[in-house]
Chains A and B, each alone.
Chain A
Amino acid sequence: MTAEIKNSIKTIIPSVNIVETKNSYVVTLDIPGAIKEKINAKIENNELVVTADVADYFADDSTENTKQYRREFSIADNIDVNSVNASHDLGVLTVTLNKKQQFLPKEISIN
């Protein structure tokens, strides 16, 4: 039992910011220590799931535990799941989810 606990991966819930812009939602997650290759973002069953594996720098020397950042978001109907971009810089992951065309504000010209 003790051994199992020792080897389990610690899940960390990253802090998140979300900003709504005219055309999109911009989700920012703090995932310090994660390298690009270990970051995974996917949309499945109407959920955006972000995970990133990192070595636990704060574990004591005798353990080889890793920790995992993980956060899930439900996706609203107005998001175009085919138009999602992600970038990674300074330990911060930014995911931009664009809104579907029909939900964008339209200017109506007056004749």
Chain B
Amino acid sequence: MLVRYQTIPSLFSEIDELLYPSNSIFHRINFSESTRRVAMKDAGDLLNVVMEIPGVRKEEVKVTLHDGVLTVAAERKQPELKESEQWLRNEISYGKFERSIDLPYPVAEDKISATHENGMLRIVLPKAQEAKPKEISIK
């Protein structure tokens, strides 16, 4: 066996290990929080959306916008094990997933751009003209 499972807080993991000696749903619940998180930031004329998609190839990501809802659909392929190989721990979830986000403002649909680097998907959505902040001159 390679590892004695260690996390912070360690007490929790020790108990975890006692109760669930093999990989269990308990682990997955515990760790799912660290993947595929989404953040959205209002940056004046732009909306920035960031999503964690580690292990996903560019070809496996699809970003769509429909009726003010931004949807990211992606797939993380499960590695295939050879006959002589075996899982010792499996906390990472594979397969297809989809996440939809309601946009708070109308955006210029033809000016949306997306980049993918180090497991992060970044989408920049310029706000539609009517949603941009306006300065009101004081008379």
Which A residues are in CB contact (< 8 Å) with B119?
30-33, 90-92
Interface 9-mer from B52-60, B65-73, B95-103: B52-60
Taking a contact as CB atoms under 8 Å apart, the answer to whether A76 and B1 are in contact is yes
Which among B1, B35, B50, B84 is the interface contact of A57 at CB below 8 angstroms?
Answer: B50
Query: How many residues of A are counted as interface, with CB atoms below 8 angstroms from the partner's CB atoms?
Result: 36
A75 nearest CB across to chain B (Å): 7
With contact pairs A18-B89, A20-B88, A30-B34 given, residues A74 and B4 touching in the complex (Cβ less than 8 Å): yes
Q: Does B85 contact A (CB under 8 A)?
A: yes
> Is B90 an interface residue when CB atoms closer than 8 A count as contact?
yes
User: How many contacts A-B (CB < 8 Å)?
Assistant: 107
Contact A14 B84 (CB under 8 A): no
What are the residues of chain A within 8 A of B82 when measuring CB–CB? 21
Is there a chain A Cβ closer than 8 Å to B92's Cβ? yes
Give the interface size bracket for B toward A. 35 or more
Assess the A15–B34 pair: CB atoms within 8 A: yes
A16 interface residue per 8 A CB criterion: yes
- Which of the residues B7, B32, B55, B85 comes within 8 Å of A21, measured between beta carbons? B85
Residues of B within 8 A of A (CB): 1-4, 6-8, 31-32, 34-35, 37, 39, 41, 50, 52-57, 79, 81-82, 84-92, 118-120
Q: Which residues of A contact B (CB under 8 A)?
A: 11-22, 25, 27-28, 30-35, 57-58, 61, 70-76, 79, 90-92, 97
